[in-house]
Amino acid sequence: MELLRLRSSTSTPLPPTDAAGRWLRRFYTGLLYLMLPLALLRLYWRGYRDPGHRQRWRERLGFIPSLPTGSLWLHAVSVGETRAALPLIRALQTRYPDLPLLVTTTTLTGSRQVREALGEQVHHVYAPYDLPGAVARFLRNSQPRLAVIMETELWPNLLRQCAMAGVPTVIANARLSERSARGYARIHRLTALMLRDITLIAAQAEADAERFRALGAPRVRVTGNLKYDLPLPKTLLEQGRVLRRDVLGENRLVWIAASTHAGEDEPVLDAFAILRRRWPDLLLMLVPRHPERFDGVAAQCRQRGFPTVRRSEQRPCAPGSAVFLGDSMGELLRFYAAADLAFVGGSLVATGGHNVLEPALLGLPVLFGPHMFNFTEAGERLLAANAAWQIANAAELAVAVERLLTDPERRQAAGQRGRAVVECHRGALATLLACIEEQLPCRR
């Protein structure tokens, strides 16, 4: 408490607020309190499929274990944000070895990604729900020195409570699509109030920065996209070769459809059925985004007559196998390293796409659908370099995959161009670290 009170007493005055914004925040908070029982019931219900959802639920109300005070707090929602944050986390550990690092996530899969990638190197709890009491309790119990929030996690009460407690907040790798900006603009009074509570928004690109400024953010800087700075494990390519040799089969072409959502597996399997007529030995690695969909997708593959091997079965694909279902967590990069080309999901449905830079960095040609508003800049850069192709449906997907499978030289050249795009846009990590250094309160 002493550290928290010290920073509160020496922090700069909070920016002025307007009555309409304050009323909207109270209305928003009231709705959240009304929805709280439903949120807790949802955790309990999801616990039937995976008991992990029921565990540690008190952390979501701010009741967290005893933690060292004065930590660097980094929040990443789920798996994608956690993977993007790993270079930053490791750089912070190197730069500030004497400061404890607290990593929070919102989802169970994000929590498991933290534990798998970082183990006991960091402290981990779930982030509190965006309720004033829960956030204030979390801050009292953790007393962070600085909050680094990944990408687009903008929560009015969390940011307000941090400002009141004197905890600087940096929105790192911040992105804001046109679609999201229009949504925030509809509640512009609350949005402007919330953005004024943020110490610094470190935007991925100038377009993101301009959208934040248009909504009323007073402190925005363009630092670049951290996802370009993704380091590949030294053994990753070898892991991919071993997976190809021992599990998938060396003498067949392998196409990966990664991070698929509900509504995408059907067109992917439709395209695969077309392709199998020409390449009977073609193997599809199908990797659903969410674990709760694994069983359903496996059943769907088998209902279509595709002999399917699940990663969890820990057995090699027989020569007649058609689909390898990636029903594991934390292996996506290894799966990419074992494939010949990649389709990245979340893009045939209006989810906004997923990280297309990971397969590009591994030298794979990349395919994605029309809905890429969360990765607009990355997608456009790969398209401009002829390292990626955008498709709209199953028929176009089948045609694009066929062209690449038929022409190995084209496939290899596209992969090389994609890797070059990623390599030439690295550097966001160093810029972001400098921003964090500026905002980090003097250590007492």
Domain boundaries in the chain? 2-224+427-439, 236-424
Give the chain's radius of gyration (CA, Å).
23
pLDDT of 10 strictly over 90: no
Please list, residue by residue across 57-82, b when 16 or more beta carbons sit within 10 angstroms of its beta carbon and e when fewer do.
Answer: eebbbbebeebeebbbbbbbbbbbbb
Bridge partners, residue 154, by sequence: none
Instruction: Convert the pLDDT of each residue in 78-126 to its tens digit.
Output: 888 888 899 999 999 999 999 999 999 999 888 988 998 888 899 999 9
pLDDT at position 50 is: 82
Give, in order, the Cα–Cα distances in Å from 343 to each of 230, 369, 372, 404, 410: 19, 9, 13, 12, 16
Q: How many CB atoms lie within 10 A of CB 342?
A: 28
Cα(148)–Cα(185) distance, rounded to whole angstroms?
24
Residue 3 in this model has a pLDDT that exceeds 60 = no
46 pLDDT higher than 80: yes
pLDDT, position 53: 83
Helix ranges (H only) for 119-235 are: 132-142, 156-165, 178-186, 188-196, 206-214
DSSP string across 131-144? -HHHHHHHHHHH--
Helices 394-406 and 408-424 cross at an angle (nearest 10°) of 100
pTM value? 0.84
Q: What is the mean pLDDT of residues 278-294?
A: 95
Q: What is the pLDDT of residue 14?
A: 43
Rounded percentage of the chain residues whose pLDDT exceeds 90: 80
Backbone angles phi, psi at 315, to 5 degrees: -140, 155
Q: Calculate mean pLDDT across residues 280-294.
A: 95
Q: 283 pairs with which residues across the strands?
A: 254
- Return the CATH number of the domain spanning residue range 236-424: 3.40.50.2000
Q: Which CATH class is domain 2-224+427-439?
A: alpha beta
Integer angstrom CA distances of residue 367 from 72, 74, 266, 370, 411: 38, 32, 16, 10, 12
Q: Dump the DSSP string for 394-408.
A: HHHHHHHHHHHHH-H
Model pLDDT, residue 442: 62
Q: What is the DSSP letter of 244?
A: I
Band of the pLDDT at 9, cuts 50, 70, 90? very low
Quick one: which H or E segment has residue 28?
Answer: helix 19-46
Catalytic amino acids?
81
262 closest CA partner among 332, 348, 389, 366? 348
The pLDDT assigned to 444 comes to 42
